[in-house]
Amino acid sequence: METWQKLFFGTGAATAVFWISATAFAGVLLGKCRLGGIGLGVAGVLFSGLLFAHFGARADPQFLHFAREFGLILFVYAIGIDVGPRFLTAFRNDGLRLNLLAAAIVLLGFALAWIFHAHAGVETAVITGVMSGAVTNTPGLGAAQQLFAEHGGTHDVGIAGTGYALAYPFGVVGIIATMLLIRLFFGIRIEREVAEYHASVDAGRQKLESVTITVANPNLVGQRIGHIRSFIDEELVISRICRGEDQLIPRDDIVLLDGDVLHGVSATDHLDGLRLKIGPTEFSRKREISGDLAMFHVLVTHRGTAGRTVEQIGIGRRYEANITRIFRSGTEILPTAGTLVELGDVVRVVGKRELLDDIRQEFGNSVKELVHPNPVPIFLGIFLGVLLGSIPLAIPGLPVPARLGMAGGPLLVAMFLGYKGRIGSYDFYIAPGASAMLRELGIILFLSCVGLSSGGRFVETFHAGGYVWMLYGAAITFVPIFGVAVAARLMNTNYLKICGVVAGAMTDPPALEFANGLAPVQAQSTAYATVYPLTMFLRIVFAQVLVLSGL
């Protein structure tokens, strides 16, 4: 009996792990329950933690604090690695507009909090905690509590934490409810939004097509293929040459004849130039490769090959074969001589059929090798992210420097590493399954600990007038995001992007997880990561400004 009592009500690590696991298990099951087609998703873990804590579940606060922060780091790091390769493209496309929308949400929320403080008489500690909880921003709360502690307001530190706990649940649910209201209000069909998103992404990509070109330029007749490649490398990849009934692999020493037909791959915007340089050019119909030639796909899993250019790998020099396309993260890449081949790429090769096994062995083509855990980039990235998040940023007028914190720092580092893919000979590839596991584990850990930390005081404070604090928090949550979301939709912004902006502007991982569940595309995560760095910084700064306004 004593053993069980120690496990249930002790202060050790075993008790904390027990309650975190129980909360996560119950919360995931709760999140799967649906009412009218709507479910809480991962946010069910938060409410499970509040319920367990209300009925007496207790764990070591320091352990919960560590698990909460580490879970948040894992979540944002996985998000950063995932969206990093597409971040700069997204920012160039509509990043400025999305950041302006997110900044408007932050400013409106701060304005409401200041009005409640200045004109409704809500004390500084309360409204600061309520604002941080309403926008689900833990780093902002931490920065505010640090200011209270430095100015001798120990009591205010606890009051701010309670206000945060009371406002946080609606902060999560209110964001999700707003997404659903916007969808209902505008009669949005998710399938149409997905199609529009894919169309916008495709419009910004280099569209590759199979082409056939008949050699008609007399200046090219008698020239070697190697010479031709020197001035069309960025425009055309030649897969094979049709000469009468024969199909030839385009080795550098082959001499072009008048009437030769080149089969290859090019971007659509290069076709006019190819007509002028070589001859009549047209899109080619799908034609099966016959005879001793074959077309096959190879998965790049050999770390010695990854990180080298197409020219350095030299498939065309050493084999009667050519790389004609590279598929990476859902995009097609025209493989020029200087194109880097990375882990996880799928390369299309056209060549002699008997060379298939040799080329596959050179590239690896082993799914088992690709999914083998590679924890070094994870911990290196987290290490660098924590360092970045801890750097003080001095802002005129604030007595305490602001910081990106345990969420902002790892996110920025992960986005950078995901974008770069490798530095020197070291790659930062994380298998999609491993990244998804990190993301799920991280957010569940975070919400379990928030619920267990806040649930013990929740009902008591609510009955003592805390429900008024909750109403203030609900206004700070709902009014800015609903108003800006309506404005964004009237500006013809894609609904999935709006969901990502709303989640990012509120720095709310559960809302992002809910948004990601609406459709299996990257629009939500990319928009979230696009606005997250700026809004995280603004949330931290405005929380401190609110404290200073009441000192």
Please state, in angstroms and rounded to a whole number, the distance separating the CA atoms of residues 105 and 99: 10
Distance between CA atoms of 172 and 482, rounded to whole angstroms?
Answer: 14
Do residues 197 and 237 both lie within one domain?
A: no
How big is the chain by its Cα radius of gyration, in Å?
A: 28
What is the rounded CA–CA span in Å between residue 476 and residue 310? 54
In a domain, 461, yes or no: yes
Q: Does any domain span residue 308?
A: no
Same domain, 249 and 133: no
What mean pLDDT comes out for the span 358-373? 75
Please indicate whether residue 284 or residue 192 has the higher confidence score (pLDDT): 192
Choose the final residue of a domain: 233, 259, 279. Answer: 279
Angle, CA 420 vertex, CA 432 and CA 539 arms, to 5°: 80
Q: What CATH number does residue 242 fall under?
A: 3.30.70.1450
Pick from 279, 305, 325: which residue ends a domain?
279
| Whether residue 255 sits in one domain with residue 148 | no
Shared domain check, 190 and 124: yes
Task: Report the alpha-carbon angle 517-520-526, nearest 5.
Answer: 90
Looking at per-residue pLDDT, the higher value among 155 and 451 belongs to 451
Predicted TM-score (pTM) of this structure:
0.66
- Is residue 212 situated within a structural domain? no
Q: Tens digit of pLDDT for each residue in 172-192?
A: 788 888 998 999 989 999 889
Q: Which residue has the higher pLDDT, 424 or 324?
A: 324
Residue with tokens 């604002």: 131
Position 273 pLDDT exceeds 80: yes
Q: Are residues 100 and 150 in the same domain?
A: yes
Say what the pLDDT of residue 153 is: 56
Percent of the chain with pLDDT over 70: 81
pLDDT score at 548: 73
* Mean of pLDDT values over 277-295: 74
Per-residue pLDDT at 6 exceeds 80: no
Question: Has residue 268 got a pLDDT over 70?
Answer: yes
Residue 347 lies in a domain: no
User: Any bridge partners for residue 261, and if so which?
Assistant: 214, 242
Do 383 and 252 fall into the same domain? no
Q: Of residues 190 and 269, which shows the higher confidence score?
A: 190
Q: Identify whether 530 is part of a domain.
A: yes
335/35: higher pLDDT: 335
pLDDT at 369: 65
Query: Which pLDDT does position 8 carry in this prediction?
Result: 60
Statement to judge: residues 140 and 170 lie in one domain: yes
Over residues 302-313, the mean pLDDT reads: 79
Band of residue 482 on the pLDDT scale cut at 50, 70, 90 = very high
For residues 18 and 10, give the distance between their C-alpha atoms in angstroms, rounded to a whole number: 11
* Among the ranges given (121-135, 199-213, 473-487, 525-539), the one the predictor scored with the smallest mean pLDDT: 199-213
pLDDT value at position 4?
55
Same domain membership, residue 394 and residue 274:
no
Are 238 and 152 contained in the same domain? no
Do residues 264 and 116 share a domain? no
* pLDDT score at 476: 94
Q: How far apart are CA 360 and CA 356, in angstroms?
A: 6
| Per-residue pLDDT at 366 | 73
Which tokens is 536 given?
């995280």
Q: State the amino acid at position 65 in one-letter form.
A: H
pLDDT band, residue 480 (cuts 50/70/90) = very high
Q: What is the mean pLDDT of residues 249-275?
A: 83
Q: Find tokens 């990375």 and name the residue.
A: 342
Closest CA to 408 of 515, 510, 541, 534: 534
Q: 206 or 386: whose pLDDT is higher? A: 386
Query: What are the residues whose beta carbons fall under 8 Å from the beta carbon of 19, sequence distance 6 or more?
Result: 52, 57, 58, 59, 452
**Is residue 227 over pLDDT 70?**
yes
Q: Output the pLDDT for position 115.
A: 92
The position carrying tokens 């910084």 is 537
Structure-token pair, residue 435: 């990244």
**CA of 139: how far to CAs of 5, 136, 170, 305, 473, in Å?**
35, 9, 18, 42, 17
Give the residue ranges of DSSP H helices in 186-314. 190-204, 225-232, 271-277, 310-313
Q: Which residues are within 8 A (CB) of 351 and not within 5 positions of it... i.e. 6 or more apart?
A: 249, 293, 294, 315, 319, 320, 321, 322, 359
Residue 132 belongs to some domain of the structure: yes
Distance CA 179, CA 188 (A): 11
pLDDT band at residue 66 under the 50/70/90 scheme: confident
End-to-end CA distance of the chain: 51
Which pLDDT band, with edges at 50, 70 and 90, does 265 fall under?
A: confident
The residue among 11 and 523 whose pLDDT is bigger is 523
CB 351 within 8 A of CB 294: yes
Domain that holds residue 102: 2-201+372-550
Question: What value, to the nearest 5°, has the Cα angle with vertex 466 and ends 461 and 471?
Answer: 150
Together in a domain, 153 and 20: yes
Average pLDDT over residues 482-490: 94
- Residue 529 pLDDT: 78
pLDDT band at 88; cut points 50, 70, 90:
low
pLDDT for position 461: 62
- Residue pointed to by tokens 């080149």: 262
Share of the chain above pLDDT 90, in %: 10
Report residue 113's pLDDT band, with 50, 70 and 90 as the boundaries: very high
pLDDT category of residue 290 using cuts at 50, 70 and 90: low
For residue 292 the two structure tokens come to 């001793």
Q: Check residues 51 and 288 and name the one with the higher pLDDT.
A: 51
Is residue 92 domain-resident? Answer: yes
Full DSSP string of 53-91: HHTT----HHHHHHHHHHHHHHHHHHHHHHHHHHHHHHI
Q: Report the alpha-carbon distance of residue 544 to residue 551 in Å, rounded.
A: 11
Band (407; pLDDT cuts 50, 70, 90): low
pLDDT digits (tens, 9 = 90+) for 348-362: 888 888 888 888 888
Select from 336, 282, 348, 274 the least CA-distant residue to 310. 336
Is 122 domain-assigned?
yes
Domain total in the chain: 2
In a shared domain, residues 512 and 432: yes
Q: Inform me whether the pLDDT recorded for 116 exceeds 80.
A: yes
pLDDT confidence of residue 107: 94
Q: Indicate the residue among 279, 310, 327 that finishes a domain.
A: 279
Question: For residues 123 and 453, which has the higher predicted lDDT (pLDDT)?
Answer: 123
Q: Supply the pLDDT for residue 397.
A: 60
Mean pLDDT of the chain: 79
